[in-house]
Chains A and B, each alone.
Chain A
Amino acid sequence: MAWRGQLTKNLRELRFLFCQSSPASSSARSFVENNYKELKTLNPKLPILIRECRGTEPQLWVRYDFGVEKGIRLEGLSEEQIFKALKEFAKL
């Protein structure tokens, strides 16, 4: 779990996009609800942008240096799987 405190090493920005009410976004919403506080406490300098918009597919985007971005759709992913995706992203 130590990698969670090391997000700032490679990542410059983390973005969660989801819909406020759709069932497709429910896993992303609960992920943010359960883990945002911990992630932010461990990485106080990392912007974790949580953006909601009606009808948006749940997505996770990360930004590295030099404006390189990677994204993944979160629909149907469990909390475990989202963490795994995030870990992959953090490794570069």
Chain B
Amino acid sequence: MGLGLLASRALRPAASRLLRYPPRHGLARAIGSTPERQSPEASAAQAQPDPAPELPPRKPVAGARVHLPNPEDAIEVFVDGYPVKIPKGMTVLQACEVAGVDIPRFCYHNRLSIAGNCRMCLVEVEKSPKPVASCAMPALPGMKIKTDTPIAKKAREGVMEFLLMNHPLDCPICDQGGECDLQDQSMAFGSDRGRFTEVKRSVVDKNLGPLVKTVMTRCIQCTRCVRFATEIAGVQDLGVLGRGSGEEIGTYVEKLMTSELSGNVIDICPVGALTSKPFAFKARNWELKGTETIDVTDAVGSNIRIDSRGPEVLRILPRLNEDINEEWISDKTRFCYDGLKRQRLNDPMIRGADGRFQAVSWHDALAMVGEVIHKVGPEEIVGVAGKLSDAESMMALKDFLNRMGSNNVMCEGNGKHPNADLRSGYIMNTGIAGLEKADVFLLVGTQPRVEAAMVNARIRKTVRATHAKVGYIGPPTDSNYDHEHLGTGPQTLTELAEGRHPFCSTLKNAKNPAIIVGAGLFEREDSDAIFSAIETIAKNGNVVRPDWNGYNVLLLHAAQAAALDLGLVPQSPDSIKSAKFVYLMGADDINLKDIPDDAFVVYQGHHGDQSVYRANVILPASAFSEKEGTYENTEGCIQQTLPAVPTVGDARDDWKIVRALSEVAGVQLPYDSVGGIRSRIWTVAPNLVSVDEREPTTFSTTTMRPNTNQKISPNDFGMAVENFYMTDAITRASKIMAQCSAMLLKK
């Protein structure tokens, strides 16, 4: 809540009264204290006759839109005399928000259950004997709510005084300083002197792991973190212990918080009790520059804000996007940023005869690559795009290698023979937000909790809200919602496809069944047969209908969807085994043993990760935080990153390197600007150009895909992601992520 707004509202009662009542004795204005101002109750009891208050029409807080699902069920309430129409069942606090009045609060959070224990949101309701906690009180028809009366103000001042009684007031050394709800609201409702002379209580700090720092003395027992942990993260570790002044938040026994969403408690904590451990004492929030961008550590494309100071990324915070990540992000997204300044490649390098790398100029490095690429046959050139590549660079790489005569350009994670024909065959057709409408889930070979934590949070939300059934095929997994483990491998899948499995009837009786297939299955040799079995299940279960498409593929990497859209499909699956020239564009997870010993390997990327050990030439590129790039997430939503910090050393944007190389190699690409490359993309996959849109698919793979004569192998499904905290070059370079995998991973 803005400080100025609060302060102005705190001042308003007096000012508006002066304006509203014309002076009785012809005096211009009264200076000094009147009896009614000395005792707020008296002035309220005097009852404001308010025949027709001339209030300007108000807009909902933060420009929110109010959707009335059922206009007959709408009720009218009056907030400060201003009538608003709200749907039945809204609370008084929500009604006030619709009327444009922001009520101060600590414990209330609109995505968590209502606790009503901080009492900060007290408002006056006509005919109610005492102020009511607006967050917990349902609005009733005709209710007259008053938010800025002296009674409400006095009540809040009382609450604030009690809250500050046991609060340490260590704002100068508190990391929340400057973005603290308690600090802001004490500016409006706090007293300038205390009446408390006893000793303040103190609470022992808890160890919640390497991510969340606790200073429990600052805690005001709002219980937001407890409700977040139980309701959204699905870990029952946090709770409230003790009563009265002995009340504290803790885990009862010494235990770390092992949730992939634990970082979000930092954001929801209204005070400085839970703060970010890696960010501790690093910066003040007003020194930081925020850049609104998106995350690339998984295929969800969570909306984030990168806070930076100078050339350094200091923290990553979530941004609201109801369709993708709501207002949460996973711990990997939030804390991977220290990997952005370790192990970075900053100069072009060539491996000398002695096996050591030597820093050279861009001119020399490109000249060498341009010379070597002409010495090999076109079919011996292979390009591999990495899991963090953006669409522009993949387009440039594909065009460049195509022009060199090679048709073997692929993206890691998509398997040896990806089928990129129909978009519905590799994206999440239901959409992440659409999963909330599903009533039965069938997870095939996917562990959403580690593959895409935000999708998992969505499934958990649905399971909690509607008791949707979840069936799971894959290795035993640690899930945070009830699920039925149907089997471990393709055997169960065949049973389901042939209708012999008891879960078939559940799927058939469902109104909106959703099948989620893990992209880990792309890597299997029998992927065609597996996908055709899943399509049979979808057909039998009526999963794809004109009004509902429940056939979903959950991708693993940020680059995957765009790579398939652009047609990064290798002509021959094992081309890399006979390659003489391998271009790795940030590809660190390919099997380096597959590359022949005599092959010339170019590594273009931002981190000195696994592939650098095999590279002959290194071309340094910029990371996602340093460039403008287009990414498509697993549901097919196109989003763009924006540069938050400058690039490291002599590094350049990926597509620019490929463009420069094409010129050196004599096959100049016909574009030299981001606009140019996007118009080229427009002739390949026009959906990649419409940013922030999801293009629906026309045809479903369930009806269009030709039959395969592949046989399903009996091998069980594997885990696609072994270590949630370390999946790519950035997270592997991160110290925080290394600590997390050492401490939090369940062995």
- A residues in contact (CB < 8 Å) with B: 12-13, 15, 17-18, 20, 29, 32-33, 36-37, 40-41, 44-45, 47-54, 56, 59, 61, 63, 65-67, 69, 71
Contacts and interface: CB of A to CB of B under 8 A. Distances in A.
25 contacts: A17-B686, A20-B696, A20-B698, A33-B699, A36-B699, A37-B706, A40-B421, A40-B706, A41-B707, A45-B571, A49-B421, A49-B565, A49-B567, A49-B684, A49-B685, A50-B422, A51-B565, A51-B684, A52-B423, A52-B687, A52-B695, A52-B698, A53-B689, A53-B690, A56-B686
A13 B571 CA distance: 10
A51 B706 contact: no
Interface of B: 378, 399, 402-405, 407, 420-423, 565, 567, 569, 571, 667, 683-687, 689-690, 693, 695-699, 704-707
B221 to A, nearest CB: 51
Contact of B697 (A45, A52, A63, A65): A52
A10 to B, nearest CB: 12
A29 B422 CA distance: 13
Contact of B698 (A29, A41, A66, A71): A29
B403 A67 contact: yes
A23 to B, nearest CB: 14
A18 B683 CA distance: 11
A13 to B, nearest CB: 6
B684 A15 contact: yes
A61 B399 CA distance: 14
Contacts of A40: 421, 705-706
A71 B683 contact: yes
Contact of A44 (B420, B690, B706): B706
Contact of A51 (B404, B687, B693, B704): B687
A91 to B, nearest CB: 20
Listed from nearest, the 5 A-B pairs whose CB atoms lie closest are A67-B402, A53-B686, A67-B403, A53-B687, A41-B706
Contacts of A52: 423, 687, 695-698
Contacts of B565: 49, 51
Contacts of A61: 683-684
Interface majority SS (helix, strand, loop, mixed), chain B: loop
A30 B684 CA distance: 20
A59 B683 CA distance: 9
Most-contacted residue by chain A among B405, B565, B704 (CB, 10 A): B704
Nearest to A54: B695
Nearest to A48: B421
Given A54-B693, A65-B407, 8 more contacts: A20-B698, A40-B705, A47-B567, A49-B685, A50-B423, A50-B698, A51-B684, A52-B695
Nearest to A13: B567
Nearest to A15: B684
A32 B699 CA distance: 9
A51 B423 contact: yes
Contact of A49 (B378, B420, B698): B420
Contacts of B690: 53-54
Nearest to A38: B706
Nearest to B528: A44
A66 B421 contact: no
B407 A12 contact: yes
Most-contacted residue by chain A among B423, B684, B693 (CB, 10 A): B684
Contacts of A63: 402
Contacts of B695: 20, 52-54
A92 B423 CA distance: 28
A41 B528 CA distance: 13
Nearest to A56: B686
B171 to A, nearest CB: 51
Nearest to B697: A52
A29 B697 CA distance: 12
A49 B421 CA distance: 4
B343 to A, nearest CB: 34
B532 to A, nearest CB: 13
